[in-house]
A = this chain, B = another copy of it.
Amino acid sequence: MGIIVQKFGGSSVADIGKIKNVAKRVVATKLAGHSVVVVVSALGDATDKLVELARQISLTPPEREMDMLLATGEQVSIALLAMAIHELGHEAISFTGYQVGILTNNSHTKARILGVKSERIMGELNRGYIVVVAGFQGVTIDNDITTLGRGGSDTTAVALAAALNADKCEIYTDVEGVFTADPRIIPEASLVPEITYEEMLEMAATGAKVLQLRSVEYGRNQGVVIHVKSSFKDGTGTVVKEEDEGMERPIISGVTHDSNEGKITIFGVPDRPGIAAKIFRPLAAANINVDMIVQNVSTEGLTDISFTLSLDDLARAESVIKDIIAGLGAKGYNTDTNIAKVSIIGAGMKSHPGVAAEMFDVLARNGINIQMISTSPIKIACVIEAGQVKTAVRELHEHFQLSEEAITRETI
């Protein structure tokens, strides 16, 4: 009898009725002959409410205490789901991240999973219990509670699937799977039935909200096939897995965008070795993830360095930059929140040169100026003005013929 890990996000457990529905779905999986481990997020907007409580006390609460607070959200969910399963006449037992030994580093609010102990879960599965585990949380070696960052429950599910050597890892969410673009902007966007870890990583990194980036990394590193499905509709969903011979694959898998980034530019930086490290090491030390970095060609020994990062980190990054700017000998800095990032992703790009040129051409034809460019073998990302992002996504989606009717696929 194989193990299935099923993860349900906050919108899938937003109220008591939905929790009861999840319980039914989980019991159905159990009755189909599987051992079931369920990972759940906090109820609907519970996490936002907790954040708001903290804000009323402090704008800069200690991150350890923030994790202590936020971890309660999932603990409420697991207890209620276990009760709902029990009410259907089946045995269930809930566990916090600490209780199942989801060991993390001590980067509070965005901790990384170091390992998972599986003994307690295996014991409960072996005596026929459905095991309900709190997503999003772990514990340090010092027994301090940590959280894994927004979307961290996905990573919990994938990590458990790896540790338990599960047959399947199903991520139930409020969308039907991965689409060729955000369906709220492009209604004719089509569902992607299969996608490689690498493409999914690029998609997650460039704005697709379906899976947390780290869960995909974890899946790739541990070889866990991730199946994204809708909590509310039946459907085939999207399978995220290793690239293989028979995989149907288009040149471009999708167009993504991210309107939640800001840009910081440091002007007149003396252009000498080690200067970039002086900027980005303190940012890394403050646990701030920098996305794109562009350094201009130097004139008269001075250069400008721009980088993008999540708007959530902008204020903290600005205070880091303020502290170091004099030491750099730079002339000054500014911040820009009026930007967005649009990207095209596709493993097929590797064998089709010229895709980047096509993208730049589409943007130019629509009067969209490119502020920054970043590329990988399977991705091209451009920073543009925020107000032009919908046009950019629409025109790129159309140009690369990604809609349901127009879709062209080739097997490579």
Which residues of A are interface residues toward B (Cβ below 8 A)? 16, 19-20, 50, 53-54, 56-58, 61-62, 64-66, 68-69, 71-72, 75-76, 78-80, 82-84, 86-87, 92-94, 96, 98-99, 120, 143-145
Contact = CB atoms under 8 A, between A and B. Distances in A.
29 contacts: A16-B56, A20-B57, A54-B79, A58-B83, A58-B84, A58-B86, A61-B83, A61-B86, A62-B86, A64-B93, A65-B79, A65-B82, A65-B93, A65-B94, A66-B79, A66-B83, A68-B75, A68-B79, A68-B94, A69-B80, A72-B72, A72-B76, A75-B75, A96-B145, A98-B98, A98-B143, A99-B143, A99-B144, A120-B143
Contacts of A143: 98-99, 120
Main secondary structure of the interface of A (DSSP, over half): helix
Contacts of A83: 54, 57-58, 61-62, 65-66, 69
Contacts of A78: 68
A212 to B, nearest CB: 23
Contacts of A145: 96
A92 to B, nearest CB: 8
Contact of A53 (B64, B72, B80, B98): B80
Kindly report how many copies of this chain are found in the complex they form together. 2
Contact of A57 (B62, B64, B84): B84
Q: Which of A62, A71, A75, A92 has the most CB of B within 10 A?
A: A62
